[in-house]
Amino acid sequence: MIDIDKWQEIFTTIRKHKLRTLLTAFGVFWGIFMLVVLLGASRGFRNGVESQFDVAKNAVFVWTQRTSIPYKGLSPGRYVRLKTDDIEAIRQNIPEVDVVAPRNNLDGEFTVNRKTKYAAFEVFGDYPDFIKVEPKKIVSGRFINQIDIQEKRKIAVVGTKVVEELFEKGEEPLGQYISIKGIYFQIVGTFESNQKGERAMEDQQTIFIPHPTMQQAFNQGNRVYWLGLVPQDGVASEVVETKVKALLMSRHNVAPDDLKAFGSNNVEREFEQVQGLFMGMDGFSWLVSIGTIIAGIVGVGNIMLIIVKERTKEIGIRKALGAQPWSIISMILQESLFITGVSGYFGLVVGVGLLEGLNYAMKKSDAESEFFANPEIDFGIALSAIILLVVAGALAGLIPATKAARVNPVVALKDE
């Protein structure tokens, strides 16, 4: 049941000291506001950076370089070349590997033609599994399949920018032919990039053809330029990286301690480093915000002490008339919770409103950065902030309330 008299007392006290209450409440408001904005900005940076990981979060890439150590009569400086047989050897000898996706690219300067239109694009030879390593959004048609590999079909999957460059607006690309170095390929699918900004533009100017087709059509023999690997569920990428490189060293007569013969990129390791960075940013945000909130709590506590001092005679009369200590404590705590609750709530609302406004403006103007996107604060953080407000309000009023409950009625009635 609502005690109207008690609330009237609270509002009377606040009206009596408007400026003092406002300045003190601003400390709590600013602390919650800073918490929301800093954590939202951190989430925006996290979303932006994670969007740059357009490959599987546990992917590993391996490629060849030059040897640096002589081994078995072979001199250093020898360039190692991966072969198609290496792919099957990895599948048979390393059960921790789930996906093995060899990849080649078309070297040299060339243009891709369709009728009277031509432009320069990157062309890659891939297996169907490569889309598990580097996901793409298929807009129409399909990606490379196993039959394309087995029959070495001359088909192509092209990015949307390729379509824009080589086709008229509204023209259907599926089933049409493009010429790559004088060899015709039929388009069976189109895709969009999962990235943003310039990287998305570059990605969408790409053409995929079957890996064996590229090897045969462009005289690459049985060479493999590099590998995309994804480990089995529950297996660390580092395990796959180490085992694959060790197997390839053995197969290509490379010294086991030659660290320069094979290059690799462990996406999982990079992703964990990025996560660690953002955990640090979140921790810093909480530290700064809680420090500000504590300053606000101290201010609220001081106000309540002053209020208790000003109302000492009133509290003494209440106790003389039989008021219980808990009723005195609840009166002070209620006022403290009200001040911190309202100021903190407005801090939360204004902070969330600012983030939503920023997010809306970025999407409206198409200004999302490659490294900052969708700043937001999740429900868990908002709930934590509300709990923090309740605790802060209780702590701010606890000492003054306890002091009020200990007031001696005889002494209080003598107070002038």
Mean pLDDT of 186-207: 84
- Select, from the ranges 328-332, 357-361, 369-373, the one with the highest average predicted confidence (pLDDT): 357-361
What pLDDT score does 183 carry?
A: 93
Give start and end residues of each alpha helix (H) in 311-408: 312-320, 325-364, 379-405
Cα distance between residue 416 and residue 406, in whole Å? 18
- Condensed to tens digits (0 to 9), the pLDDT of residues 372-387 reads 667 777 667 667 766 7
Task: Pick the range with the lowest mean pLDDT from 95-109, 179-193, 269-283, 294-308.
Answer: 294-308
Angle (nearest 5°) at CA 21 between 15 and 27? 155
CB atoms within 10 A of CB 404: 27
Percentage above 90 pLDDT, the chain: 34
Contact 156, 207 (CB under 8 A): yes
What pLDDT score does 389 carry?
A: 67
Q: What tokens were used for 375?
A: 């700043």
- Is the confidence at residue 325, as pLDDT, over 70? no
Q: Which of 382, 376, 377, 378 shows the shortest CA–CA distance to 345?
A: 382
Give the confidence band of 141 by pLDDT, cuts at 50, 70, 90: very high
What pLDDT score does 3 carry?
A: 61
Mean pLDDT of 31-49: 76
Render 5-59 in DSSP notation, one character per residue: HHHHHHHHHHHHTHHHHHHHHHHHHHHHHHHHHHHHHHHHHHHHHHHT--S-TT-
Burial environment of residue 96 by CB neighbours within 10 A (0 to 12, 13 to 18, 19 or more): middle
- Select, from the ranges 113-122, 181-190, 288-297, 332-341, the one with the highest average predicted confidence (pLDDT): 181-190
